[in-house]
Structure 1
Amino acid sequence: MPVFDQPRSFPVSQENQPVRRRAVFSSSFAGLTSQHATDAAEEVAARGHRRHLNDDALRLIDDLTNRPMDPLFMDSRLTRRPSSPVVTWVTRVVVFLTCVAVGFAGSLFVQRLHTDPRRAVRQSWAAELENQTAQAESLADEINDLRSRIDEVSREMADFQQSETQIQDEMTSGMIPVEGEGITLTLADPIAADGALPRETSGNQIRVVTDADLQQLVNLLWQSGAEAIAVNDYRLGMQTSIRTAGQTILIGINSIESPYVIKAIGNRNTLADAVSAERQPMLYESYAESGIYPQVAKSDSIRLEAAVSGDVAHARRSE
């Protein structure tokens, strides 16, 4: 069979010419030639040799072999450089400023998305609570100072000598500062609690120190002969309670946080033995299961300030 010379590419018929060229923005678009493949039937009629009609596979192979690059990228004059260096630098500056502005706007948008709208409210409430607590502590100190001055003035004016019974009553009720030997009992929430979990053991929640734990330890110390007790430097008096408000432990009206330090004045050996692991094995075992490890230290001298107590308005002395 005669061998026919195959063309490198299929010519495009006049009626299949593209209406609009692809590189219209190029300065040399007029010189670009269309390289679209023609219909197989027309090619067979033009060349006079047999080929399969609508042989898309051969046309695809021809395009991939002879035209691997798009004509748009073959035009080396598509990218024109500015003729003036001033225009080049102005373009660079404008592009740089545009990128900076877009990046800054994107950063503000992302920061706005990650902002917690309730955080400002919580911070405001926390700051207000701290201010109120500081004012309450300042007023309590002022009350104690005024009471001390009243007692001193009363003694000077009436040449009054306190009886031993009255001194004991004031010491027991926490009305005056006291000092003596005793122990310091320290316990803290487990590390895994991170200070922000509910104060009850429920399900998989981590157990933390509760007001009931502090009450139990304080009661053990009272029963063992403690004469004065303070929790986190807040003296326990007649009108002082240990309770929970929400997730915060309160000593009276003052909030405290972990670690919890209980100071007790009394016979240090007796008090230390009363809250030791040997005397309270079940209590210490429950603490160890939750990662709470109380520490007891004996002291030769502990000073506790007076407790804050309100004025008596309804009580009367009974004859």
Structure 2
Amino acid sequence: MLKKRTGRVLTAAVFALAGLIFVTSFNTAKGTDLRTDDSLLKLSDLIQQRNAKNGGLDESTASLRGDVDALADRDDGSTRAEDERFGALAAAAGTRKVSGQALTVTLDDAPQGVQAAPGYPEPQANDLVIHQQDLQAVVNALWAGGAEGIRVMDQRLISTSAVRCVGNTLILQGRVYSPPYKITAVGDRDRLEEALDASPSLQNYQLYVKAYGLGWKVDEHDAVTLPGYSGTVDLHYAKPAG
């Protein structure tokens, strides 16, 4: 008799556990396929929300920086030589606007359904998208060409800026961007173009432009003003020398 009761109790426990698993699975799926739920869409929405929030914070920081600079200019009691030295340091740091002749380089993914040009192998997925090294190659070439200031998309670069990509998505100073990518540099246009042409990395990139249709466009501007960098300039992993 005891064995029968024990068997009934175990049977009931098994059915109860099965019911619990069924209810939990139903509540989790909410009637949808667990493999095709909208979790990725929710993640995308979260990224867009954070991106918008970071953009708003950048604008607030820029406004406050302007107020601080105005107060400092009014009350600092510095000499002309000190003001000139500070201005030169601010220009080098990228926190002051810069104006002049400019170039804009636009990089873009290959068109959908593109076919390889005659004489080239069929492309792999990585051959058809812009990568981090492509953006870095453009930025490095423009610095080498004497750029006085560089803006990637709508953000001014400074010495601590890091151009990073996840897949073909650019993450720059807390903001997220998708192609096409625009890089604008203020400086002598002839020198900037020569530096772009002389870059071995960009010469290699041009092969993919020819073979698979990756986007490459260079526009000249007579006058462009790049705003100063408005984000934080605090150093977390370095300290002043001396």
Q: Which residue of 2 aligns with 1:309?
A: 232
Alpha-carbon shift at residue 185 of structure 1 (Å)? 0.8
* Corresponding position: 1:158 with 2:81: no
Name which structure has the greater RCO, CA cutoff 8 Å, separation 6+: 2
CA distance in 2, matches of 1:278, 1:223: 9
Q: Once the two structures are superposed, what CA deviation does each residue of 1:269-290 show, in whole Å capped at 9, x if it has no partner?
A: 2212322499965442233212
Q: Aligned pair in 2 of structure 1 residues 113, 139: CA closer, same or farther (>3 Å)? A: closer
Which of the pair has more CA radius of gyration? 1
Q: Which residue of 1 aligns with 2:64?
A: 146
CA distance in 2, matches of 1:153, 1:295: 42
CA distance in 2, matches of 1:313, 1:278: 32
Alpha-carbon shift at residue 130 of structure 1 (Å)? 1.0
Task: Give the 3-state SS of the residue equivalent to 1:175 in structure 2.
Answer: coil
2:140 to 213, 216, 219: 219
CA distance in 2, matches of 1:193, 1:233: 30
Task: Give the 3-state SS of the residue equivalent to 1:186 in structure 2.
Answer: strand
CA distance in 2, matches of 1:249, 1:163: 37
Q: Aligned pair in 2 of structure 1 residues 203, 281: CA closer, same or farther (>3 Å)? A: closer
Which amino acid in 2 is paired with 1:157? D
Which amino acid in 1 is paired with 2:185? A
**Percent of residue pairs bearing the same amino acid type:** 23
CA distance in 2, matches of 1:193, 1:248: 20
Listed as ranges, the matches of 1:94-133 within 5 Å are 118-133=36-51
Contact 2:141/2:199 (8 A) holds in 1: no
CA distance in 1, matches of 2:159, 2:152: 14
* Corresponding position: 1:288 with 2:182: no
Task: Give the 3-state SS of the residue equivalent to 2:214 in structure 1.
Answer: coil
CA distance in 1, matches of 2:198, 2:215: 10
Q: TM-score by structure 2 length?
A: 0.71
Alpha-carbon shift at residue 151 of structure 1 (Å)? 1.2
The aligned length equals 201
Contact 1:243/1:250 (8 A) holds in 2: yes
Contact 1:192/1:206 (8 A) holds in 2: no
Q: Aligned pair in 2 of structure 1 residues 158, 170: CA closer, same or farther (>3 Å)? A: closer
Q: Aligned pair in 2 of structure 1 residues 177, 118: CA closer, same or farther (>3 Å)? A: farther
CA distance in 2, matches of 1:318, 1:169: 16
Q: Higher strand share goes to which structure?
A: 2
CA distance in 1, matches of 2:142, 2:149: 9
Q: Higher helix share goes to which structure?
A: 2
Task: Give the 3-state SS of the residue equivalent to 2:104 in structure 1.
Answer: strand
Which amino acid in 2 is paired with 1:123? L
